[in-house]
Amino acid sequence: MATTGSASSVTAIAVALTLLAAMASAELTRLEHPVVGGSPLRLLVVGDWGRNGGSNQSRVAEQMGKFAEETEIDFVVSTGDNFLEDGLAGVDDVEFHESFMDVYTAQSLQKPWYLVLGNHDYRGDVLAQIDPALRKIDSRFICMRSFIVSAGIVDFFLIDTTPFPLQYWTDPGEEHYDWRGVAPRDAYIANLLKDVDDAMKKSTATWKIAVGHHTMRSVSAHGDTQELLELLLPVLKENDVDFYINGHDHCLEHISSRDSPIQYFTSGGGSKAWRGVFRQNEDKLEFFYDGQGFLSLELDENQARFAFYDVFGQALYHWSRSKANLQLVQLPSVGATEE
């Protein structure tokens, strides 16, 4: 279902214009998302979802639609693995309809979707998934390797993390990864880190949020991604990034860094979950739920408010941070697990 309504049409036109302007630049593409002055920014984050509506994907989508209608969200962020198990086969792949257009049908979800790629997306035709032709089919779908979404008080840095894990390159097993436009790995990562660092240093936004597919910190099946801890995390710390949000592990979790203000949020419960894996982590576990659901985020000049919701629309956990003094404010939560 394509974006409808006058307000949504204006947003789609504005995004399209910034996309065209960004194509002429060698820097990370920057999209300006229109915001209403004085109103908080509201969005949903979901990851690891594309299963033709199965494994509770449709039920999560239904609850997202209900929540989005109540809160009038501005957009949706996807943390990757958008089409499981093997990405898209081409721009005309029926999976685009069956796993995206035919699932997220609520009128309240007819807003821009900003998507990063996951490792399963790289098992298909990556160039098809980032092809602007998909936006002609459904104008919501805005997927690139790495880019910036600037929304007034916040800059979102969406980062292509799949090239980082060395195992995908040296020991992929029976899996095939589409490295067109990426290989050689070392040069791609070096250039990406430089571009991300440059963009973050230029940012004057109140909040800086990095989004990637792979975990930085996690207590679930995949655990920490060492390559990101070694290569990307120093860039985030150097540039005072507030939050890193990811998917990859099919769960919902919040982990606090013990040596910096950065917070790690996993929103990878868009469909198949319940892996039954728990492992200890060096940083502080604030919340872990081994099931399906999504993350909501509301930001204003002074506060960022996070909440996890399950497949029934039940609020599982609330947390907020005050920007004024970086004081952590723990709100009452349900089902939270602490270290």
Supply the pTM of this predicted model.
0.90
* Nearest to 44, CA basis, from 199, 161, 211: 211
Relative to beta strand 41-46, strand 293-299 is antiparallel
Tokens of 269: 């419960």
Is it the case that residue 13 has pLDDT exceeding 70? no
Give the pLDDT band (50/70/90) at residue 15.
low
Total residue length of the chain: 339
Was 250 annotated as part of a binding site?
Answer: yes
Residues in a beta bridge with 148: 30, 157
Q: With 60 as the cut, is the pLDDT of residue 92 above it? A: yes
Ligand-binding annotation for 248, yes or no, is: yes
Tens of pLDDT, residue by residue over 94-138, are: 999 999 999 999 999 999 999 999 999 999 999 999 999 999 999
Mean pLDDT of 79-87: 98
Asked if residue 165 is part of any domain, the answer here is yes
Catalytic: 97?
no
In this structure, is residue 319 part of a structural domain? yes
pLDDT for 324: 77
Query: Is residue 120 part of an annotated ligand binding site?
Result: no
Domain assignment of residue 338, yes or no: no
310 marked among binding-site residues: no
Domain assignment of residue 254, yes or no: yes
Cα separation, 121 vs 126, whole angstroms: 7
Which is the catalytic residue, given 120, 214, 222, 254? 222
Is residue 81 a known part of a binding site? yes
Per the domain annotation, does 339 fall within a domain? no
**Domain region containing 88:** 6-329
Provide the CB-side half-sphere exposure for 20 (13 A, CA): 6
Answer whether the bond into residue 184 is a cis peptide, omega within 30°: yes
Domain CATH number, residue 167: 3.60.21.10
pLDDT digits over 147-158, tens only?
999 999 999 999
pLDDT band at 16 (very low <50, low <70, confident <90, very high): low
Mean pLDDT, residues 282-306 taken together: 98
Residue 249 lies in a domain: yes
Would you say 242 and 208 are in contact if contact means Cβ atoms under 8 Å apart? yes
Q: What is the pLDDT of residues 31-67, one digit of tens each?
A: 999 998 889 999 999 999 999 999 999 999 999 999 9
How many domains, in total, are found in the chain?
A: 1
pLDDT score recorded for residue 300: 96
Please check whether residue 27 lies inside any domain of the structure. Answer: yes
In our burial notation (b when 16+ CB lie closer than 10 A, e otherwise), range 312-330 reads: ebebbbbbbbebeeeeeee
Q: What is the CA radius of gyration of the chain?
A: 18
* Least confident segment among 4-8, 127-131, 317-321, 322-326: 4-8
Whether residue 334 is contained in a domain is answered as no
Higher pLDDT residue, 151 or 18?
Answer: 151
Q: Is 213 annotated as a binding residue?
A: yes
Q: In what order do the strands lie in the sheet with 29-32?
A: 29-32, 147-151, 154-158, 207-211, 243-246, 263-267, 252-256, 284-289
- Cis before 85? omega within 30: yes
